[in-house]
Amino acid sequence: MKVFTKNIKDIQPSQLYISKTKLLEVEKYLDSANIEDIEPLPIRKIGKYTFFTDGHTRAFALMKRGIEEVKVYWDEDDLDWVQYLVCVDWCNKEGIKSISDLKKRVVDDEDYKKLWYSRCDIMQERSVNDLDYYLDIRTVLEDNEKCNICELVLRALPDWFGIEESIKDYIIGVKDSVFLSVYIGEVPIGFLSVIEHNEFTSEIYVVGILKEFHRRGIGKRLIKATEDILVKQNKMFLTVKTLSSSHPDEGYRKTRGFYRTVGFYPLEEFPELWGKENPCLLMVKKL
């Protein structure tokens, strides 16, 4: 765990209230502790937001003491990041942009349970049983927004997109594509870009979903939304190019498996289309 310091004002809360009882306990602890010995606070960066994943009460107590630089570390735990982004979205909608914005939200235990725990319980159950409630798939029309989302997502996926020249090509190339992005609140967590070849066929140009949201069915939702658009345009086929199985890359083995689960079939391998080191597989789906 690498510990570093960060200005507390630059860290977004993911919690709407502070428990008065817990705050008193933390303040009592701080009265007798050396600030340098305080455990670092866990944070995570998703999209443009860097937020607390825990430790809001400690952060609030340190802020009250005028401490601006706090010790933090990147939270690498396998948590439900959908739920965290929902909480970040709540905070944004209610004007909670930094820990100091919680000054008027210090409440007693009973109110804390009603206002925070109960709200989170409902959200957690819904995120498991009705994830679509929190997902918003939008068709993006503005070129700069397409480019920004593409760059944000691809640069967060070095295991799949590690070649700088290719990333730059994709960022430019998505301008001339049908571009769908999936959001939680106002945070884009993935996208799919489609180009047209002819009146019968379109191709997935590039697709990416932040790793925190893999295995949640989000890719399948993007594919389905894309297919709905193409069917209305009377397209008959959707193709995609990906790394061939003759390359041992584990990430792309999973990618090919994903495309098979949504109805794509291998059509032809092109050993030198992307260079001998990156054999290309063309896959197709009948719409």
The answer on 190 and 105 residing in a single domain is no
Indicate the residue among 129, 161, 179 that finishes a domain.
Answer: 129
Instruction: Please provide residue 121's backbone torsions phi and psi, each rounded to the nearest 5 degrees.
Output: -60, -45
The answer on 281 and 141 residing in a single domain is yes
Indicate the residue among 129, 154, 183 that finishes a domain.
Answer: 129
Task: Give pairs for 250-255: CB < 8 Å, separation 24+.
Answer: 251/159, 251/160, 252/160, 255/160
The answer on 87 and 116 residing in a single domain is yes
The answer on 154 and 73 residing in a single domain is no
Distances (CA, A) of 220 to 128, 182, 192: 16, 11, 11
The answer on 125 and 139 residing in a single domain is no
The answer on 158 and 112 residing in a single domain is no
Percent of the chain at pLDDT exceeding 90 = 82
The answer on 242 and 143 residing in a single domain is yes
Instruction: Please provide residue 2's backbone torsions phi and psi, each rounded to the nearest 5 degrees.
Output: -90, 120
CB 263 within 8 A of CB 230: no
The answer on 140 and 282 residing in a single domain is yes
Cα–Cα dist 62/71, whole Å: 11
56-79 CB burial, b ≥16 within 10 A, e <16: bbbbbbbbeeeeeebebeebeeee
The answer on 199 and 67 residing in a single domain is no
Indicate the residue among 129, 152, 170 that finishes a domain.
Answer: 129
CB 61 within 8 A of CB 23: yes
CATH number at residue 241: 3.40.630.30
pLDDT in tens, 172-223: 999 999 999 999 998 999 999 999 999 999 999 999 999 999 999 999 999 9
Stretch 5-21: mean pLDDT: 96
CATH number at residue 60: 3.90.1530.10
Distances (CA, A) of 95 to 52, 104, 122, 174: 16, 12, 22, 33
* pLDDT at residue number 50: 96
**Pure H helices in 65-209:** 81-93, 109-112, 118-129, 143-155, 164-173
The answer on 53 and 68 residing in a single domain is yes
The answer on 215 and 190 residing in a single domain is yes
pLDDT in tens, 30-63: 888 888 888 999 999 998 899 999 999 999 999 9
Residues β-bridged to residue 196: 202
Lowest mean pLDDT among 6-10, 111-115, 123-127, 256-260: 256-260
What total of structural domains would you count in the chain? 2
Structural domain range at position 144: 135-286
Instruction: Please provide residue 274's backbone torsions phi and psi, each rounded to the nearest 5 degrees.
Output: -105, 15
Provide the pLDDT confidence category of residue 249 given band limits of 50, 70 and 90. Answer: confident
The answer on 182 and 63 residing in a single domain is no
Residues β-bridged to residue 44: 51
* pLDDT at residue number 206: 95
Stretch 11-40: mean pLDDT: 92
- What single string gives the DSSP state of each residue in 119-133? HHHHHHHHHHH-GGG
